[in-house]
Structure formats: structure tokens, C-alpha cells
């Protein structure tokens, strides 16, 4: 502890967290935000005293401390950090701290605090962990252990962090399939703004990152605080503000009634709740990106250019067609060939065979080897689509083991969704069966990557025969299955997919190497989907593919250069039957693949940045090297603007004291816009580029070209001279 006051100051990466653990109470946040620098014990005491509110108007006499696990026993009338009961008794907690441990943590973490506490009346012990990464990112979790002789029905654990009164605006996300992570803003009013889902996965409409910030905060301006539940099952997030002068952000697992029942000496450990702070969303997101990249398990090798077969062939697994597609993929420079749905069992459409993880001998009489050998001879590695958590009722597995299918109350079978039911992976028999089949496939074939899908929501399904909620146990079983396969097959990569982007969270990313951001490969839609997904997910983990000339998910026709420019800012891939492309299209696509390969070291290591462009028709995003030596930006138009021409736009993230040269980059070296069609040049482009100090490019900016909708150009920034 720091002195007798019980004050602790965690600081790293430009962020300070000051906690008060005085008087035996759970930690209360004195400050979370900008770095306060080194503070003496006397200065910490003065800070805590200086910001302590006048205890007026509270439900109790005297102070009303609101801890990171808020308790009603302190007088707080709002959200509670731990909820549960013992047959209706002990409905609230009053934890008394018994020990506090402060220590350094292994990289990428900097330091942490572990608080032990007990509540004798409720018969509960608590272990609360608070960690800070070198980047300034925070995370919190709590372990609850029951010490009494009867059952404690745990209803929830919801860590919360306060934000200052100046954070008067909220941002979170909603969406649906093919339009994930759509932002929504609103004032931060008195009351509770809650986002919760009972889908068995975060869902297309997940709140994703719940932010509170100064009015009008953007990518590059305004203080912003955000929380995220690192959990791949049911989630709960809320923002709460009361007339008592307290504003909270909270996030955690959403437990169904009766889902976690603790017997004597049994424990529940909550998932990590992540919390990030920054001046602007780019700054807040960078703390997450830098932490992910610092993990020992983060992918280090260059991310391969992927060709996925789904939109090219769907269920038509003709070997001749697939080898022709592989030939075309290799011709344009692809490095990984992912065989999607339809290679196993009786899976000739989406109504049969799911769960039967053996190669379909009627389609592949010699197994997958002819295709695998052909692909590898072309210099590509092989990926495979699986959906281990689901089963078709019309499958050998469901017929042999109906007891492995999750049911609802009274054993009733939930309504089918996408012709699927949920396989109970918490059942040891089901788990071992699926593990054995997938393990055998990976042992037989040189599979570099599994595209791991999750195509239906769990819904009302329970755990037979108890009928208790299944999501908590199912989610842990899925993560354990992934980890077991990766341990048995070192180097195996897993891509998380859930009907597209319905399972994108920092929990699943500790077990996987890539997210499929959306089943929409329409580059017009992907511009926004990828922008907001990249708030937490760096580009090397964000699957982004070039679709067909007419996107199958929207029937929108889009130019090849635009489709490629959007996919460039991600883990680049192709979702298109390239055998149907003509020679000129293949040459152009090959140019973009080569550009990605040339620029991916920057794209997959640099700082992700966005300009605050006031015109909604345009977007400017990019990547800047951490040392400020180079950058790559995309100027993107998705609608007609009400202004001709656009005003100068700032290029964010450059070093103020460097002088740079800015020029058009990539295959699009000539402007494709209305003004260009009329023969009206953009002066600095006509001059072959612009040379300016970073402080000028960052504060004044450059004039941007007038573009047609669904067009993009790249700007390459290099040192001048």
C-alpha cells in the first residue's frame, strides 16, 4: 500500500488510475484518465481529499463511496457490482478488504492490484484483480467464492468505472447482419442506458465499446472513456448517471437465472472487463491495438493474402472448379486458399450434414489430398471452414446422439435457425467427439487455418437434463476446444466468424488470430464496418476481402479499384470467383495484391488513424509508422457531397518536426473524379506531389480531390528529400 491511506497510483502509457482502498472498503476510483505524473504520498492524499464530494443529498449520512464493484450497503442506489442470493436471503453485499497486493505484471502488463475481501454475512469471498498494460489499457475481473453450506445463486458480476461530469455524450454500436457495428450517439442523461443480449454470442447489434466523452468527441479530439466486455457469450453493458454526481460505465457477462449456482467452496471468475481512455477515439483505440500487438501470442509472420471459396462456389465442390480457382488465385498472388462450407458429410446444402466432420467421399473420393496437393504446389497454404458448435438435425451426429443437442425448458427442442441446433459442448462426450474429429483432420492434412463459424444464436437452449442456462458453460467449452486444438497443432491459426461479425470481442481474440468483420463484402458497406471494427481490432486481425464486381450481399456494382482500396486496410483477401475475371481485371487485381504485400509491414504495425472529416460523403483513414517515418492514407468517397471541391483535410498522426512528401500511391495514379473528367487538375497532384512539414499537414492539411461516389485514392507519405 501507499502509506496508511490505502491510495494506489497505477500509471503507464499516458494514463493514470488512482484507487482508494481506505477504511477496509473496496477500491474507489479517485482518478481515471490523463497521466498525473509522479505523485508523492502526500500529493495522493491531497488529491483524494481535494476531489472528495461534499456528502450532501445522499441516501445515507456521510460519504457514499462507489467502488469498482458498487454496493448498496454503502448507500449507492444504482447498479450493483455483485448480485445474487441464498434462497432469497443475502441479496446484497458488504465486502471488507482483508489484503491488498500490489506488484509488477509480466509483459504486456505493467502493474496490477489484487484485492482480497470477505462478506461474512453473505458467506462470500472476493478476489478482485485490476491490471494496467504498458499502453495504459486497464482490465478488471472478480472471482466470487461461496463459503457457506448452502447454494449461492449468482446473478451477475459487473465491474464499473466512473467517468467525469464533463463526459456528457455516449457512443456505442448496434447493427444487423451485413451492417455490423453501426455507431449511435446520444446525450448521457440521468438514468441508465443499458445494452444487453441473450444471443449466446455478442451479436450483430453488440454495444461493442461503450464510450462516454466530452461533447462532440471525435477521432482526434475530445477526451473519451470506454469499456468493453471481453466475453464471447451473453454480454451486458451500461452507462449510468445519477443526481448524486456519479457517472459510471460498466460491462461484463450477462448470466441467465440459475446459470451459475455456487456450492460450498465453488467459485465463479468473471471475464475481463477492458477499459480504455484517450484524447480522441484513435488514441483510445491505439491503447488496445498496442496491447494486442505486444502479446507473445500475437501473429508475427506476414499475414497471407487469402482466397476464400464461399462466394465463388458455395456448395459446388467440383474438384476441377476448385483447382481452376486455385490456379487463378495463385496467378494474382494469393498465399492462402480457404475451402469453405460443403466439403464434409452429406453437406450439399445448408440443411444436412453439419456436425459430421469427415470428408465427403462422394465429392472427394480420394479425400482432400488432390486439392491440398494442388494448392500447396502453387505455393499457397490451405485453410478449412468448420462450425463445431452447431449441428443439423439431419446429420449422422444428431441421429446418433440426440442427447448432445441443447434443449429448452422441459426438454423441448428450440425452433430451428438456419436449419441448425446447438451442440452441447459442455457435455464431455460431445466435447471429446468434436475434438477427436477435428484433431484427426488436422493430423491428416496440413491445415494452416480454421475458419470457425457460429451461424445460429443459442436462444432458449439449456443444459439437459437440468434445463439450466447453457451459454456460460458453452462459451468456456468452445474456448477450451480452440485452445486444445492449438496446443496439439502448434502454428494453427483460427479465424472467428459468426454469420459474419456477430462474435468480435477481446475475449475471443485471446484464442484466435483473425476476425471476419462481416459477411458483407460490399466495399461501400465495408468502409464503415471496418472503420468501427478497427476501433478495437488492428488491421492485421481484421479480415477484409475483395468481392465480385456485383456484391452478392447487396447486388451493388462497384469498381475493382474501390473494392481493393477498401480491403487493403485489413487482412487482405479475395472473396470472388477470379476465374470469371477477364485478363485485364486479373492484372489489376495482381497489382493490388502486390501493393498489399509491399505495404503490409506498415499496414499491420503502424498506428491506425482517422481524420475528423465534417463532410459525411468522404472519409480519410490511414496508418502511420510508430516512428513517424511514413504513412499511407485512403481518401474515400461513398456519396455525393454538398460541397465542390472539398476543403483541405488534415493528415493525422504525422510527426510535427519532419518534412514529408505526399503523392498518389498504388494502381490508381490518375484521379477518377468529376473534376478530373472535366480536365480540371488538383494543383499539388498536377505538380507531382507536395512537400510540407508534418505540423502543416497535421494542422492545415491538403486539398483533396473531388471523387465520384464509391471511389478511392491512396496517399503515400514518405520523408522529403
Task: Kindly give the residue spans of alpha helices, DSSP state H, lying in 494-641.
Answer: 523-533, 560-568, 583-603
Residue 449: which of 307, 596, 595 has the closest Cα? 307
Distance between CA atoms of residues 242 and 162, nearest Å: 12
DSSP string, 458-505: -TT-EETTTTEE-HHHHHHHHHHHHHHHHHHSTT-EEEE-BTTBS--S
The sign of the torsion formed by the CA atoms of 441, 443, 444, 450 equals positive
**701-714: buried (b, 16+ CB within 10 Å) or exposed (e) per residue?**
bbebbbbeebbbbb
Question: At how many degrees (to 10) do helices 428-444 and 471-488 cross?
Answer: 30
Distance between CA atoms of residues 206 and 174, nearest Å: 6
Distance between CA atoms of residues 646 and 713, nearest Å: 14
Query: What cell does 323 get?
Result: 483447382
Strands 493-496 and 514-516: parallel
Distance between CA atoms of residues 420 and 414, nearest Å: 10
Catalytic residue flag (residue 381): no
For residue 363, give the DSSP letter. Answer: T
- Considering the candidates 519, 612, 665, 710, report the single residue annotated as catalytic: 519
Long-range contacts of 296-299 (CB under 8 A, 24+ apart): 297/510, 299/493, 299/513, 299/540, 299/541
Distance between CA atoms of residues 527 and 179, nearest Å: 11
In this structure, the number of other CB atoms found within 10 A of the CB of residue 622 comes to: 26
Catalytic residue flag (residue 519): yes
- Considering the candidates 340, 453, 513, 710, report the single residue annotated as catalytic: 453
Q: Give strand ranges (E) for 197-289.
A: 210-213, 223-229, 235-241, 247-253, 260-262, 267-269, 273-279
Catalytic residues: 453, 519
Amino acid at each position: 500500500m501507499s502509506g496508511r491511506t490505502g491510495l494506489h497510483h497505477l500509471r503507464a502509457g499516458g494514463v493514470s488510475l488512482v484507487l482508494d482502498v481506505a477504511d477496509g472498503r473496496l477500491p474507489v476510483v479517485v482518478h481515471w484518465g490523463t497521466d498525473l505524473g509522479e505523485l508523492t504520498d502526500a500529493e495522493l492524499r491531497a488529491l483524494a481529499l481535494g476531489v472528495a464530494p461534499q456528502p450532501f443529498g445522499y441516501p445515507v449520512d456521510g460519504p457514499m463511496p462507489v467502488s469498482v464493484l458498487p454496493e448498496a450497503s454503502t448507500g449507492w442506489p444504482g447498479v450493483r457490482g455483485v448480485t445474487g442470493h441464498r434462497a432469497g436471503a443475502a441479496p446484497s453485499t458488504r465486502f471488507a478488504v482483508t489484503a491488498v497486493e500490489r506488484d509488477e505484471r509480466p509483459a504486456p502488463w505493467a502493474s496490477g492490484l489484487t484485492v482480497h475481501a470477505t462478506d461474512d454475512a453473505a458467506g462470500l469471498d472476493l478476489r478482485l484483480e485490476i491490471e494496467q498494460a504498458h499502453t495504459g489499457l486497464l482490465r478488471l475481473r472478480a472471482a466470487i467464492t461461496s463459503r457457506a453450506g448452502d447454494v449461492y445463486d449468482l446473478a451477475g458480476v459487473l465491474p464499473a468505472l466512473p467517468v467525469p461530469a464533463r463526459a456528457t455524450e455516449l457512443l456505442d454500436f448496434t447493427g444487423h447482419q451485413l451492417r455490423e457495428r453501426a455507431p449511435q450517439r446520444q446525450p448521457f442523461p440521468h438514468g441508465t442506458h443499458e445494452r444487453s443480449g441473450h444471443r449466446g454470442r455478442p451479436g450483430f447489434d453488440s454495444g461493442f465499446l461503450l464510450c462516454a466523452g466530452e461533447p462532440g468527441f471525435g477521432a482526434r479530439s475530445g477526451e473519451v472513456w470506454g469499456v468493453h466486455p471481453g466475453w464471447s457469450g451473453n454480454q451486458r453493458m451500461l452507462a449510468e448517471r445519477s443526481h448524486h454526481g456519479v457517472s459510471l460505465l460498466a460491462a461484463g457477462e450477462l448470466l441467465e437465472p440459475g446459470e451459475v449456482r455456487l456450492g460450498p467452496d465453488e467459485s465463479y471468475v468473471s471475464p475481463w472487463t477492458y477499459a480504455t481512455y484517450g484524447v480522441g477515439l484513435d488514441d483510445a483505440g491505439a491503447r488496445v491495438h498496442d496491447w494486442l500487438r505486444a502479446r507473445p501470442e500475437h501473429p508475427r509472420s506476414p499475414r497471407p493474402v487469402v482466397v476464400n471459396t464461399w462466394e465463388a462456389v458455395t456448395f459446388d465442390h467440383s474438384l476441377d472448379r476448385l483447382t481452376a480457382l486455385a490456379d487463378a488465385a495463385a496467378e494474382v498472388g494469393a498465399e492462402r486458399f480457404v475451402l469453405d462450407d460443403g466439403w464434409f458429410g452429406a453437406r450439399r446444402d445448408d440443411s444436412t450434414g453439419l456436425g459430421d466432420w469427415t470428408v465427403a467421399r462422394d465429392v472427394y473420393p480420394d479425400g482432400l489430398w488432390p486439392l491440398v496437393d494442388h494448392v500447396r504446389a502453387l505455393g499457397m497454404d490451405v485453410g478449412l471452414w468448420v462450425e463445431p458448435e452447431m449441428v443439423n438435425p439431419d446429420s449422422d451426429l444428431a441421429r446418433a446422439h440426440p442427447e448432445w443437442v441443447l434443449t429448452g425448458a422441459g426438454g423441448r427442442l428450440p425452433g430451428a435457425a438456419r436449419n441448425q441446433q446447438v451442440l452441447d459442448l459442455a457435455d464431455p462426450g460431445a466435447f471429446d467427439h468434436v475434438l477427436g474429429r477435428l484433431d484427426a483432420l488436422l493430423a491428416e492434412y496440413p491445415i494452416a487455418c480454421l475458419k470457425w463459424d457460429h451461424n445460429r444464436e443459442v436462444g432458449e437452449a439449456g443444459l439437459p437434463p437440468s434445463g439450466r442456462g447453457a451459454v456460460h458453460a458453452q462459451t468456456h467449452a468452445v474456448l477450451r476446444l480452440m485452445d486444445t486444438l492449438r496446443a496439439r497443432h502448434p502454428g494453427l491459426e483460427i479465424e472467428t466468424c459468426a454469420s459474419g461479425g456477430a462474435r468480435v470481442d477481446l475475449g475471443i481474440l485471446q484464442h484466435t488470430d483473425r476476425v471476419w468483420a462481416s459477411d458483407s463484402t460490399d466495399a461501400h458497406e465495408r468502409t464503415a464496418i471496418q472503420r468501427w471494427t478497427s476501433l478495437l481490432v488492428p488491421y492485421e486481425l481484421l479480415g477484409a476481402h475483395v468481392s465480385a464486381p456485383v456484391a452478392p450481399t447487396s447486388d451493388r456494382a462497384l469498381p475493382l479499384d474501390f473494392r481493393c482500396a477498401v480491403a487493403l486496410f485489413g487482412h487482405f483477401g479475395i472473396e470472388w470467383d477470379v476465374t470469371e475475371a477477364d485478363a485485364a481485371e486479373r492484372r489489376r487485381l495482381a497489382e493490388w495484391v502486390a501493393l498489399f504485400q509491399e505495404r503490409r509491414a506498415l499496414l499491420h504495425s503502424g498506428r491506425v488513424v482517422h481524420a475528423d472529416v465534417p463532410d459525411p460523403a468522404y472519409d480519410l483513414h490511414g496508418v502511420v509508422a510508430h516512428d513517424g517515418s511514413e504513412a499511407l492514407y485512403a481518401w474515400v468517397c461513398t456519396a455525393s457531397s454538398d460541397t465542390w471541391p472539398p476543403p483541405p483535410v488534415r493528415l493525422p498522426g504525422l510527426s510535427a518536426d519532419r518534412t514529408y512528401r505526399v503523392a498518389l500511391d498504388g494502381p490508381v495514379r490518375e484521379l477518377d473524379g468529376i473534376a478530373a473528367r472535366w480536365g480540371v487538375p488538383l494543383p499539388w497532384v498536377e505538380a507531382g506531389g507536395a512537400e510540407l512539414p508534418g505540423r502543416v499537414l497535421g494542422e492545415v492539411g491538403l486539398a483533396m480531390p473531388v471523387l465520384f461516389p464509391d471511389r478511392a485514392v491512396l496517399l503515400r507519405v514518405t520523408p522529403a528529400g
